[in-house]
Structure 1
Amino acid sequence: MRVLHLPTAVGGGPSGLSRQLRLQGIESQVWTIDQDYLNYPVDRVLTEPQEPVLRQMLTALRAGTYVFGRWDAVHYNYGSTLFSNGGKLLSRRGSGGSAAGRLLARALGVVAGVLQRAELAVLRARRIPVFVHYQGDDARQGDYSLQHFDISIATQVPPGYYTAESDAWKRRQITLMGRHAFAIYAVNPDLLNVLPASAEFVPYGHVAVSEWEPRYTQEEHERLVFAHAPSNRAVKGTDLIVRALSELASEGYAFELDLIEGVSNAEALARYRNADVVIDQLYAGWYGGVAVEAMALGKPVVVYLRESDFRFLPAEMADDLPFFRATPTTVKDALREILVQPRAQLVARARQSRAFVERWHDPVAITSKIANDYRRARAIHERKNGK
């Protein structure tokens, strides 16, 4: 069986899934439009940074011939196909704010939309099943978040992060992908509020947990070491976290903060290993891939969890959550509680966190479920072909 993952390596999810698929005997490749500073391993990078728009277009057209390849399944990530604007080919990059730039952006958007529909139509005609993975802002919509959640990313980000246009575009994309996908997965439960009813919650499975040795450092350091690794400060609540820690320091609490930004995933992991507690995020309502990596390394995690989304989780998983919970208004109290509790309790929480990852983020179990979906889809398509 041959599987192609497109068009990003967001969060390391496609790379981790592909690696596990290969270990299970499936020939799997990850192609990404470009490579970012996190530098997750992929099989093919399609473009170089700051390529001119015309070169992007030629690259896109050449890469689009993948639809005629000998694939048994195509697995899209970040809710995006190769040609969708949720990816970066034929995107608005470099169009600027001029009238000509806006006109070019709209024209490229129309072209991308036509090519995306052709892309999906060819795969359907060739009976190659499509799978779609959603990771976050590929599905989250500002208007829905503001209407339904008291605490959300939409309350913090600057104008233009979510817009009426982008919200509407995401809804159209979700509908389009829902018509073509054999299965839709979401790594964050809040996304299931806006995805088709058939979509499934599938936990992060990018960490090879059995290969990661935990480091329970919580009793080793004289001053407790917090780590925080924001990809976007507004989204993660970084300013609130830094302010809370600054106030605690002024009150006489001793600790260190390792603020991890703009470094590769490999370097970030090395710094998590030296931390005692990792602070994840305060607005999304769920934990991210960073939290999974931290817990695998034996670090308890501070995060905001939105309980109304727990209905999308297995009941046992909801009962098993090991996190230090914090909201934007309680983060200082949550961090103070960590600082004053006996270190032995922190070690116990760290071990609980590692056990949670072993149970609920086991990449073998998660990959086996997805691989079985691939096989089921192929079997259905082969029956339709009379094979």
Structure 2
Amino acid sequence: MTDDATTDDMPVLRWEDEQTSENPIAFLTDLASKCPYASSDKGLAVLRREEARDILRRDLPIAVYHIPEEVSPYLSERTKEPLLTRHGPEHLALRKILTRVFRGHVLETLRPRIRERFEELLDPIMERGEGDLVKELFHPFPAHVLAPILGLPMKDIDMVSAWVDSSARWTDIFLPREKLSEIEAAWRSLEAYLLGLLRERREDLKDDIFSELIRAMEGHRELEVVGIAMELTRAGMDTTRRQLANTMMALLENPSEWAKLSADPALAPGAVEEGLRYASITHHMSRQAVAPTEFAGMPAEAGEVATVLAMAVNRDPRAFENPDSFDIHRGRNAHMTFGFGSHACIGAPLARMEMIEAFTVLAERIGTIEVTGPIERAKVTIGMVPTTLPVRVTPRA
């Protein structure tokens, strides 16, 4: 923000403070109770839902200021390519293409395959009576679902999944610069792989999303088509697997809600939506001004950034009753985990379907469940996601 725009009573958010990383939800919601916004060295932080809605509904690109050209010219250039960082007519045209691509694949026809694959991955855990839900189940599941839908050979799933794991971290605005070389290597590998697949597939188009993308984007540059395919691959695999882990963790920390779901697996849609709100993997949604404008009624110059903090926005008491309670019976649940406005997630219906089937199956098959060891979690900027979740289970009688 410009110097004369910051008011004296606006709280200051210091990203490096221990309270921001150690207890972010309590800290951010406390800030939100004082003011809809906070000032920070990365621009304006938006803490309440209505104000977030006002900013996210605008046709602005997602900010990628955190990847300096002098550190990684390749990533600095590539991260300006995807759908995420476009705006205006070009962005609208690409979204229309993707909407047509997804509309051509009726999601309901995928439901049996999604359920079957989840059950296959769950079977060994149920047979042993123990396992790691993250490493054995939630992590591989979305990749095994998405690969055939996108048209990726099943033999390449593990390799592609590893590249997705690394390259997806580019959206972390607090990423240490020394990690960029690892991300760049994974990005280059995934790009080269998909470019080769695109050239093969052009000679033999099939009934999959990659083929539909090639048809719909005829006349576009190869790297543009591959960039969109990469974005779909990362979003479809990485975000779903992390949200599954976060929602499961919330259910384990709230055993009364797990008991309700176990008693009635038809409550899975409510559990999924509440998990998306209460235990969102989305930490920040940044928008960058492309011309002089205003954020929160204050002037902002081109290049300045407003960042919506989902952990605060999704617990705004003005929008959610008892926001700090995990309640799978919650009614209207207008969370912002899938974004809002021009950059709302196109793949949200597929992600929801995967998660609903997953939690339906878990509720139907598990009688008892208990955590058996320490749970490691990722840092706050990528959603505090459990990276391990060791449990002991008994099958339902």
Query: Fold match, TM over 0.5?
Result: no
Normalised by the length of structure 1, the TM-score is: 0.26
Higher relative contact order (CA 8 A, sep 6+): 2
